[in-house]
């Protein structure tokens, strides 16, 4: 199984930590879409799309990647995100885009991440210390489980 994780992490490095942890646990290639061009993912069996949440949605760079990519029928795709508040499923919109493209859905993972955007910055931020080691262990367990299936 050959895996790659594409990620966008622009503020506190929450998503970068999550993506690195997941990639290390399964030996996946890792690409930061804010620093590198979108790679050719045609040779991968598993593709992870990981982002912080920006205005209740995945980063525009990941949305553009999904819109511009033709996924192969054998490829399994998963989503992961970090967000200041995890009371709702922020993967819904991206998952809908993927389903419209006929992607083989592997699952999604969400965890809190330190957030100082907007009003949260005025109060010192929310979800301090997140993702925690416990969050990262849950991420490792998630990605190992979906790559075994």
The full set of domains in the chain, from first to last, is 3-148 (3.40.50.360)
pTM, to two decimals: 0.88
Task: Write the pLDDT tens digit of every residue in 5-54.
Answer: 999 988 767 889 999 999 999 999 999 998 988 899 999 999 999 998 77
**Where is pLDDT greater, at 6 or 57?**
6
Q: Which is nearest to 9 in space by CA: 147, 113, 135? A: 113
The predicted structure's pLDDT at residue 131: 76
Distance from C-alpha of 121 to C-alpha of 126, rounded to nearest angstrom: 8
Please give the sequence-ordered ranges of beta strands (E in DSSP) within 11-56, or none if there are none: 29-32, 46-54
Task: Write the pLDDT tens digit of every residue in 30-41.
Answer: 999 989 888 999
Q: Which residue has the tokens 């009371």?
A: 87
Q: Count CB atoms within 10 A of the CB of residue 101.
A: 13
The predicted structure's pLDDT at residue 44: 97
Q: Is the peptide bond before 70 cis (omega within 30 degrees of 0)?
A: no
Q: Count CB atoms within 10 A of the CB of residue 100.
A: 10
Task: Write the pLDDT tens digit of every residue in 80-139.
Answer: 998 766 667 878 888 999 999 999 999 999 987 656 565 555 555 545 666 789 989 999
pLDDT over 80 at 145, yes or no: yes
Strands 76-83 and 57-58: unpaired
pLDDT over 80 at 149, yes or no: no
Distance from C-alpha of 50 to C-alpha of 9, rounded to nearest angstrom: 8
Is residue 133 helix, strand or coil?
helix
């Amino acid at each position: 199984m050959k895996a790659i994780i594409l990620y966008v992490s622009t503020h506190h490095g929450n998503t970068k930590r999550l993506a690195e942890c997941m990639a290390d646990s399964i030996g996946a290639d890792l690409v930061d879409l804010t620093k590198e061009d979108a790679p050719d993912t045609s040779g991968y069996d598993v593709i992870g799309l990981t982002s912080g949440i920006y205005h209740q949605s995945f980063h525009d760079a990941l949305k553009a990647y999904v819109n511009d990519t033709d996924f192969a029928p054998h490829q399994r795709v998963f989503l992961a995100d970090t967000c200041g508040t995890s009371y709702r499923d922020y993967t819904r919109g991206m998952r809908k885009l993927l389903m419209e493209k006929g992607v083989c859905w592997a699952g999604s993972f969400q965890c809190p991440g330190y957030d100082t955007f907007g009003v949260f910055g005025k109060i010192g931020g929310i979800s301090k210390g997140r993702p925690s080691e416990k969050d990262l262990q849950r991420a490792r367990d998630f990605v190992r489980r979906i790559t075994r299936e």
